[in-house]
Amino acid sequence: MSIERFDLSGRRVIVTGGARGLGLGMGIGMAQAGAEVWALDVLEERFEEARAEASEAGVAIDFFGCDVRNPEEVGEVAARGDDGTPLVLLNNAGVGERTPMMDLPYEEWSWVLDVNTYGLFVCARAFGAVMLEQGSGSIINIASVYGFLGPDARMYTFYDGGPSSAAYAASKGGVIAITRSLAAGWAARGVRVNSISPGMFITDQTSDIVDETGKATILERTPMARFGRPDDLIGAAIFLASDASSFVTGHNLVVDGGWSIW
C-alpha cells in the first residue's frame, strides 16, 4: 500500500478541544500530514500560545472560540466549513471529575456528561450533516480505556476507598456506544465513524490527579512500562482520518501500551 493513502492533503480536519494537550498535538500531526486544521475550544486565552506551538512545528492551525455544548456556535462553524472541502471531525473535547463518587454533586456529574457526550453529539450532528450531504467523511471520537475497563482508583490523589471517575467512565462508555451507533447508521452513506481509547497519558490537565505513588502503579501495570506521549495518538488519528482506513468503521482503537491486555 502506498504511503500516499495516509496523505490528508485537500481535507479539512475539525479538532474540538484543540487549543492544548492531546488535542493540539493531534491537530499539529494532522496538519503535518497535509490537512487544513480548524481547532475549536473555549480556551481562547490559549490561542496565541497554541498558534506559536503549531508554527514551531512548521504548520498553521485556525482557531475558533466555540463551546461544543452550544448548537448555535457549533452550527456556525459547520456552516462556514460547508464549502465542498472533504471533512474529518476529531471529537477530542473532554473533561473529568475530581470529586469521589460519594461526594460528587449533580452539577459536576452533569458537566462531565454534557461536555463528553452531549458535546460530541452536537458536533457529530452538525458536521455529520455536511459529510452526509457530501457523501463522504470521517468522524473520530476520543474515548478512553475507562469506557470499557473499571478505573483503578488507587492510582489517583482523590481516592477515598470507593469508586471514582464514575461520570468520566459513564461518558466514555457512551462515546464508544455513540460511535458504533453512528457507524452503523451512516456507513452506507459514505461516512465512517470510529473511536480511539487512550490509556495512561499524563498531560498538563491530568498531572494533578496522580502523585508519584500513582505514577509508579501505572508503570507497573503497563506492559510497555511508560506513559503515553501526545505523539502516540497522532498515527492512530491520521490512520482513521485517511484513506488507509477506508474499510474501517465502528472500531474502537485502543492506544494504551498494553494496559488493557492483562
146 is catalytic: no
Angle, vertex CA 166, rays to CA 261 and CA 145, nearest 5: 25
Q: Which of 118, 156, 159, 168 is catalytic?
A: 168
SS3 assignment for 5-20: HHCCCCCEEEEECCCC
How many Å from the N-terminal Cα to the C-terminal Cα in the chain? 33
Residue pair 178/121 in contact (Cβ under 8 Å)? The answer is: yes
Cα separation, 82 vs 76, whole angstroms: 10
**Which sign does the torsion angle of CA 127, 192, 63, 85 carry?**
negative
Q: Which of 146, 139, 95 is nearest to 117 (CA)?
A: 95
| Cell matching residue 182 | 453512528
Give the active site residues. 168
